[in-house]
């Protein structure tokens, strides 16, 4: 049985749907949830920056996490995109089977 993960990235609100759709079309993840209007405060080039972004929550198999990262690096508008991967410890077997079917 494969292992599953949730991956996170943020991006500009006006780029989120295009990025999410391309990741699903490329079959590197089964689903992307977009949470808009996320306020991010962070250090960037010796300044503290505040931006309005979207948070993308991506579901995939663990063995697809590198392919997902490569796709994000190619398509993401940021110089240093966020990419954090968290294991799914348990989930509905029907949902996990759907993830597998969606990325194959």
- 18-72 pLDDT, tens digit each: 999 999 999 999 999 999 999 999 999 999 999 999 999 999 999 999 999 999 9
All residues at 6 or more sequence positions from 44 whose CB lies less than 8 Å from its CB, including other chains = none
| Residue 9 CB coordination number (10 Å) | 24
Q: Is the pLDDT of residue 97 over 80?
A: yes
Question: What pLDDT is stored for residue 57 in this prediction?
Answer: 98
Question: What pLDDT is stored for residue 55 in this prediction?
Answer: 98
Q: Using CA atoms, how far apart are residues 33 and 5, in angstroms rounded to an integer?
A: 14
Sequence spans of domains, the chain? 4-103
Question: What pLDDT is stored for residue 35 in this prediction?
Answer: 98
φ, ψ for residue 69 (rounded to 5)?
A: -60, -45
Identify the H or E element spanning 30.
none
> Which CATH number, 3.40.50.1970, 3.30.70.120, 3.40.630.30, 3.30.70.141, labels domain 4-103?
3.30.70.120
Q: Using CA atoms, how far apart are residues 17 and 11, in angstroms rounded to an integer?
A: 10
pTM of the predicted structure, to 2 decimals: 0.94
Question: What pLDDT is stored for residue 2 in this prediction?
Answer: 84
């Amino acid at each position: 049985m494969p292992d599953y993960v949730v991956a996170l990235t943020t991006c500009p609100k006006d780029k989120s749907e295009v990025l999410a759709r391309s990741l699903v079309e490329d079959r590197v993840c089964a689903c992307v949830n977009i949470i808009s209007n996320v306020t991010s405060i962070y250090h960037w080039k010796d300044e503290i920056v505040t931006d309005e972004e979207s948070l993308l929550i991506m579901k995939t198999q663990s063995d697809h996490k590198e392919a997902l990262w490569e796709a994000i690096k190619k398509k993401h508008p940021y110089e240093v995109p966020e990419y954090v991967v968290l294991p799914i410890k348990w989930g509905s077997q029907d949902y996990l089977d759907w993830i597998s079917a969606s990325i194959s």
